[in-house]
Chain A
Amino acid sequence: QKEVEQDPGPLSVPEGAIVSLNCTYSNSAFQYFMWYRQYSRKGPELLMYTYSSGNKEDGRFTAQVDKSSKYISLFIRDSQPSDSATYLCAMSGVNNFNKFYFGSGTKLNVKP
């Protein structure tokens, strides 16, 4: 079993839709959670960084962490064609010294 599971998609939505992206994980020691956006032939770009459980909002993006279910989500409101990319979740434990475990990524396509 992989440490982090993520549906590869592709997920196709119309412009303006609310997008929900999700990851599940197996290691209860994970405390730090990140979401990245990766465009083709580019490196991952940090979108959200959260610690422990709860919600965090930044502009059109909301990250949710449910540690009891070992489940994290990223919501994108008013999605735009420029949001079309692969979204990666990543997580690490308290004393992991920045060793992060990544999901395999969900490919999102926002249609104009």
Chain B
Amino acid sequence: DAGVTQSPTHLIKTRGQQVTLRCSPKSGHDTVSWYQQALGQGPQFIFQYYEEEERQRGNFPDRFSGHQFPNYSSELNVNALLLGDSALYLCASSLWEGGSSPLHFGNGTRLTVT
């Protein structure tokens, strides 16, 4: 049973550049959420996708955008990178049940902005 997979595992970018992170959800899951985890902090919700639409969004600027594909995989795009965007970006998948179902996380993409 394939779990959540993310790529790449590590990424180094320069301020002002753009980055795309990718995620494949756990088999059978239809909902993808993205979280940002700064060093020593808990994950912070960025946004969530279901049926190729953004369903909820956390307190993140428009520089953060995403996409979900028909096969449920997802991308997170960040434009105009800032030093403060350096973090572990986690993708989590779940089932859309109209309520809450537990999140299953990938191992994340560690983004360093220099």
Q: CB distance A88 to B58 under 8 Å?
A: no
Contacts of A96 in B (CB 8 A): 56, 100
Whether B61 is near chain A, meaning CB under 8 Å from some CB there, is no
Q: CB distance B99 to A105 under 8 Å?
A: no
Size of the chain B interface, CB-CB below 8 angstroms: 30
Task: Name the segment of B11-19, B43-51, B63-71, B79-87 touching the other chain.
Answer: B43-51
Q: CB distance A102 to B43 under 8 Å?
A: yes
Contacts of A41 in B (CB 8 A): 107, 110
Contacts of A104 in B (CB 8 A): 40-42
Contacts of B108 in A (CB 8 A): 42-43
Q: CB distance A44 to B33 under 8 Å?
A: no
A47 to B43, CA, bound (A): 16
Contacts of B110 in A (CB 8 A): 41
Contacts of B99 in A (CB 8 A): 32, 94-95
Whether A66 is near chain B, meaning CB under 8 Å from some CB there, is no
Most buried by A among B4, B33, B43, B107: B43
Measured CB to CB, the nearest residue on chain A to B43 is: A102
Find A43's partner among B41, B90, B101 (CB 8 Å cutoff): B90
Most buried by A among B4, B45, B101: B45
Q: CB distance A43 to B106 under 8 Å?
A: yes
Contacts of A94 in B (CB 8 A): 99-100
Whether A60 is near chain B, meaning CB under 8 Å from some CB there, is no
Q: A43-B105, A98-B96, A101-B45 are known contacts; what are 8 more A-B pairs with Cβ within 8 Å?
A: A4-B42, A31-B100, A41-B110, A90-B42, A97-B56, A97-B96, A98-B33, A99-B56
B interface, CB within 8 angstroms of A? 4, 31, 33, 35, 40-45, 48, 50, 55-56, 58, 90, 94, 96, 98-108, 110
* Those 5 A-B pairs whose CB atoms lie nearest each other, nearest first: A102-B42, A43-B105, A32-B100, A49-B102, A43-B107
A interface, CB within 8 angstroms of B? 4, 6, 8, 31-32, 34, 36, 41-46, 49, 88, 90, 92-105
